[in-house]
Amino acid sequence: MPAEFEIDPEQGVVLSRGFGVFTHADYLDQMERLRRDSRFRPEFNQLVDCRAITLMNLTAAEIQDLAKKSVFNPESRRAFVVTSEIQYGLSRMLGSYRDVHGKQTLLVFKEMAEALSWLNLPLSYTPKHAEKSTPPPPLVPTDSAE
């Protein structure tokens, strides 16, 4: 599973992280795991850390589908932190589709500090009391010489 999340009820935020290749199914899986987690509240904001994602394997149709679905309230703020132009473009596409559907505000940032500020979190924010979901398995490089 190339995604994990931490729920910080004190700050009212969900910190989501992706790893490796991230797909439509991974996004849906994380939404479902959040929905089932008794600590989750739809009014929380979300900080999505895409910095460890190596490939966002999503089509335009899949992004449009994801934009129609959310476990968060329309008033929730969602901040995506990205490192590449492709991540930036795909995340902005999701945000644009969400705007069309009247869903919550989703902004994309290249700097974590800007995302934290927009979510009204301290720049030194680390989810102290948050409990993690099941972490993803470690990425194991394959050796093609064997």
Say which CATH number the domain at 40 has: 3.30.750.24
Q: Which domain holds residue 96?
A: 3-121
Domain-located, residue 144:
no
Let me know if residue 126 belongs to a domain: no
At 70 the pLDDT is 87
CA atoms within 13 A on the CB side of 126: 2
pLDDT at 133: 44
Please give the tally of structural domains in the chain: 1
Has residue 130 been placed in a domain?
A: no
pLDDT value at position 100?
A: 80
Query: What pLDDT is attached to residue 139?
Result: 38
- The alpha helices in the chain, defined as continuous H runs, are 24-36, 60-67, 85-100, 112-118
pTM reported for the whole predicted model:
0.83
| pLDDT recorded at residue 107 | 95
Which CA distances in Å does 15 have to 22, 133, 145?
Answer: 16, 11, 38
Q: Going residue by residue through the chain, which has 146 residues, state the pLDDT in tens, using 9 for 90 and above.
A: 578 999 999 999 999 999 899 999 999 999 999 999 999 999 999 999 999 999 999 999 999 999 888 899 989 999 999 999 999 999 999 999 888 876 678 999 999 999 999 999 999 887 654 444 444 444 344 444 44
